[in-house]
Chains A and B, each alone.
Chain A
Amino acid sequence: MNTIWLAFLTGLTSGGFSCIAVQGGLLTSAVANIENKKDNRVAVSVFLVSKILSYTLLGFILGLIGSQLVLTPKVSAIFQIVIGLFLLATAGRILNLHPFFRYFVIQPPRFVYKFIKNQTKGKTLFAPIILGALTILMPCGITQAMMIVALGTASSIQSALIMFAFILGTSPVFFALGLSITKLIKYRAFNYISALVITVFAVIALNGAAGLWGSSHTLQNFWSVISGGTNTQIVRSANIAAGYQEATIYVDNNGYRSDTTTLKAGVPVRLKLITNNVFSCSRSFVIPSFNISKILPSSGEEIVEFTPNKPGRLAYSCSMGMYTGSFDVIN
């Protein structure tokens, strides 16, 4: 849910400015052919509604593609690393750190640009509708970054919501300020804000990758160490019944709570996962080192069985690596 809010705020702050730099000219051309001022406003509204709908659909498709691409938690982690690096390169491109970063951009085909340009010559409301929908073919840098984030969610609903929130956030800038905003983007501060926002997304993606990889080097763990959380943890070993270690994880909207901290190596584990009105990505539960991946019901119980075979840290997380947890496996 936080990602959706962040997407909205990104659109509202830097996304709108960036989008209007790329698409504002086409919109203005389309609207310029409509002489009545009232119709002009209607045309912009139609353009924006069409744009929001098409990007929401695009988000849905991206999430669908992402869900098909994710095979194992490790592959998903690699995917997140690629996303994180692309986002960092995008931030580097926006700041113009080096010409090399200019290659990290998704470029629409030239014929698409020509087709869109021809559409701007229409005088009816049909032109803004088509234009609004076709803007998905020429996304700005920040939109591209958001599309990559949406792809990485591997959830069509989450992905659609991210794109919806982002484009909704960009809309006030389009509607209220129009082309005059293009003067603002020449200010360096705009680039810094955009690059900062994209870097935040990159850090989220790379942190997610670390979580999915089962690494202890996640922001959550760093924070836990800094805030002294690990010092106050009580050691709770799993009960053993009928040859199985029994542990329970309570899955919340904001993460995981386990009744067990320590497991014994070589003894099979029966892990109960309990959900109660959970609608966040914590429902998509993974244990990377065992390639276990389970979509949990919003309310209910699921059992996962595995045998920890070596002592050390056994990490589990959601499929995006946002929510993490771990067991200590001992001999």
Chain B
Amino acid sequence: MSTATEHSHAPHAHDEHGHGHGEHLPFQAHHFADMQQQFEAGKLGIWLFLAQEVLFFAGLFCAYAVFRANHPEVFHNAHYHLNTLLGAFNTIVLLASSLAVAWGVRCAQLSNTKGIIYTHVFTLACASLFLGIKMVEYTHKWDEGIFWGAKYAYQAGAAPGHHFHAWLQPTMLVTLIAGGLLAVIGLAKGKAGKPVAGWTLGAIGVTVAAIGLGIIIGQGVNAATSPAAHGAPSEHAASEHSASSDHAAEEHAAADAVPTPDQASEPMVDRSGAATDSVPAEKTAGPDEAPAMPATPPINVTQANFFSIYYFMTGIHAVHIIAGIIALTWIVARAAANHFNSVYYGPVEYVGLYWHLVDLVWIYLFPLLYLIR
């Protein structure tokens, strides 16, 4: 990842390298002719890495498109389970963090070390807020039995089958206390003249504490919007589309997530329509008849499939946020060590670009998952 795009401590940096080119700057790798070449190599590298990331997510967006195109009603019904307000809040959080990161890059170009640190700590806080809110969203859905694929067990109106949200309160307390403690230690270290340890611990503290803050905000928004944004449309959806996928989902749940043979053959959301009839016909087709294309078996797409895609996409995105948190913390530590200035600021820009991509993926995920109606 971005950490590998820079190699200031190459071991043979002091070998017999000087074939004509001048003094090597502190962070110039031995095999580059000058800082400009090094910066351009790093920048192309991170752009290619981002291209790779886009293709990585493209597979998921493609799966989304296929399932949604074939079963629009499933997606329409299922998305009522998502809390749009929380999604919107997270979108704003990530947009703000992207602004901060871009600002941080500008600070680096102007050799403003304090600016790099402040903007990146703010970005870290946003990243954790996002994760805290996502935790609230996930746990509340799990409590209702809204899992993915085979684990999906949602029943409209049923009492919560799990109590994952009971973990939110202790998590919030632990993160707030631990984060606060780390931040205080960091502050003390900073005062004691150890800026690198101080800012690193401080950044980690803010990151941890922001998870707790995210949980508080998420819980609050969830409680405020629950009956309006969540419950009512769900019922509305159930009444309007009970014939199709919600019905299937309930049956699915009733069968303890293992479809019985007769259930599987029931053409509830049968994509191939009359194709089931053509199965025996195909088997008896003579050699001189046109070979019938093998019939597509009936595939029953339910809300479980929407949530498979939802959890996988948002989950992979969350993994990228966590990777981003590590990279951003690394930038804070290096900025505190005074590594960056207008001559050498490549890593700040590379991590910033990565963070923009993480933001951008969410910009697509939010409308595709939350704003289907």
Q: Do A and B bind each other?
A: no
* A residues adjacent to B (C-beta < 8 A): none
